[in-house]
């Protein structure tokens, strides 16, 4: 971890085999990892170990992940939360973000994308501070994005979701197959045209604050790339 404090991650997953696989994956990447199987076990962990990020399943015994995320967000606002779940409906994602998730990922999630999401959220924890003027800050709970110059721009739920997907994608690039899936649109010409309109509305919101540089670049007919440096939270 480049000589800095290790990032500590709590894996909250009641399926033991999957939890152990995630623990091993993250330990090999240099993180300090704690595995627990319930909200109650997570409560005990938080009393004895500082946790930077929680990797949270939603289908848990006694208390589900949405409830856990909501109280974590209130009690530990600095903790990052990634929901990793089999719930794939659009409404599930909205409820996840409303409960306090920084990023919502669905199972099965490729390891590369999961690690990219974790690194994106933790890239400056315990390390040297980046110059704040380089970054746009997305605040999902407030439905806003703030430009490097401090201009606050309101967003819709769908626009926040779209920026999150760009954020964790390799090279911040999404092709139309991914866009249609993430936006819950049909794989038709009409669906593609609707995705283009959604991208255009987002670009119109943030482009005036981008100092002339392109904020979202079209790579037609294949997809789009987010061209701004983004951080969440």
Rounded Cα–Cα distance for residues 76 and 42 (Å): 13
Mean pLDDT of 62-68: 90
- pLDDT value of residue 13: 93
Exposed/middle/buried for residue 112 (C-beta within 10 Å: 0-12, 13-18, 19+): exposed
Q: What domains does the chain contain, in order, with CATH numbers?
A: 8-122 (3.40.50.2300), 132-232 (1.10.10.10)
pLDDT tens profile 147-205:
887 788 999 988 988 998 888 887 788 889 888 888 888 999 999 999 999 999 999 99
Does residue 20 surpass a pLDDT of 80? yes
Does residue 2 surpass a pLDDT of 70? no
pLDDT tens profile 102-159:
888 887 777 877 888 888 787 655 443 444 446 888 888 888 998 887 788 999 988 9
Does residue 12 surpass a pLDDT of 80? yes
Query: Pick the residue with more confidence: 104 or 233?
Result: 104
- pLDDT value of residue 151: 84
Mean pLDDT of 33-44: 92
- pLDDT value of residue 125: 59
pTM for the full predicted model: 0.58
Exposed/middle/buried for residue 133 (C-beta within 10 Å: 0-12, 13-18, 19+): exposed
pLDDT tens profile 206-226:
988 877 778 898 876 688 999
Rounded Cα–Cα distance for residues 31 and 36 (Å): 16
For the chain, give the mean pLDDT: 84
């Amino acid at each position: 971890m480049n000589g800095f404090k290790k990032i500590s991650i709590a894996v909250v997953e009641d399926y033991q085999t999957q939890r152990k696989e995630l623990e091993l994956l993250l330990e090999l990447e240099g993180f300090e990892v704690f595995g627990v199987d319930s909200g109650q076990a997570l409560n005990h962990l938080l009393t004895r170990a500082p946790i930077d990020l929680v990797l949270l399943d939603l289908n848990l015994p006694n208390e589900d992940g949405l409830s856990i995320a909501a109280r974590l967000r209130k009690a530990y606002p600095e903790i990052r939360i990634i929901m990793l779940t089999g719930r794939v409906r659009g409404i599930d994602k909205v409820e996840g973000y409303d409960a306090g998730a920084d990023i919502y990922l669905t199972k099965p999630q490729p390891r590369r994308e999961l690690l990219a999401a974790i690194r994106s959220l933790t890239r400056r924890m315990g390390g040297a501070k980046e110059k704040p003027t380089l970054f746009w800050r997305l605040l999902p709970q407030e439905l806003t994005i703030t430009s490097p110059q401090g201009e606050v721009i309101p967003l819709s739920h769908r626009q926040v979701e779209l920026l999150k997907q760009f954020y964790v994608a390799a090279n911040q690039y999404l092709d139309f197959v991914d866009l249609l899936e993430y936006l819950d649109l049909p794989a038709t010409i009409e669906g593609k045209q609707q995705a283009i309109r959604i991208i255009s509305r987002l670009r119109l919101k943030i482009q005036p604050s981008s100092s002339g540089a392109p904020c979202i670049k079209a790579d037609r007919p294949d997809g789009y790339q987010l061209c701004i440096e983004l951080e969440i939270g």
